[in-house]
Amino acid sequence: MNLFVTGTDTGCGKTFVTAALLRHLARRGTRALGMKPIASGAERTADGLVNEDVAALVAAANVAAPPAIVNPYLFEPPASPHIAAAASGAVVDLAVIAEAYAACRAAAEVVLVEGVGGWQVPLAEDVDLADLVRALGLPVLLVVGIRLGCINHALLSIAAIAEAGVVCHGWVANVLEPDLYAREAVVETLARRIPAPLLATIENGDTGSLDALAASLADTP
């Protein structure tokens, strides 16, 4: 099964979870490829622009693919995609991303597509992240960064995903504040209120709980 990995906000752990899933899939012998259609915030090097999220996905995958299909749009400014694109003189074209995704699917058994920022992010004039997910026809995996304020962020995100007519395959609780007051109660509250299964909980950087999720992706036609 191929998935689109989105999150409650920037820094919630989308790349961390996506890369961990890719490594689990690779250990199972599944040809797995990570794709980040749009990345903003890159360092200019002798080899060109480098984004650490894209580099992490490439390193975690066991399928080699050209940069143009793994990351069709890369912008230097660390800003919302539509702002970064405008500053770079570019316009995000969903058809370009769809073509790159098709090439990724042809190269791998499982493709994990990581979003940018949170769910309600503009990509271009009158084009939002939801439009991209619908164009690719993918179910969503929601990464929730467990920290103060995450209940509001998670419930708003899941409501927006449903409103967009996109299927949420499930969600992952990524504990960012281990000392968060009543942390277990926070996760339990979300589990009761999110109408999709809690597929894994990551604590102290331990990604072992993602193994079962990776297995289910590998075993789904």
Give the predicted TM-score (pTM) of the model: 0.96
3-219: CATH superfamily: P-loop containing nucleotide triphosphate hydrolases (3.40.50.300)
Strand partners, 40: 75
Tens digit of each residue's pLDDT (9 = 90 or more) over 76-123: 999 999 999 999 999 999 999 999 999 999 999 999 999 999 999 999
Tens digit of each residue's pLDDT (9 = 90 or more) over 28-54: 999 999 999 999 998 988 888 899 999
Question: Residue 134 has which token pair?
Answer: 């619908």
| Cα separation, 120 vs 159, whole angstroms | 11
The single residue of 36, 82, 153, 169 carrying the catalytic annotation is: 36
**36 flagged as catalytic:** yes
Domain-by-domain residue ranges, the chain? 3-219
Question: Residue 197 has which token pair?
Answer: 């299964």
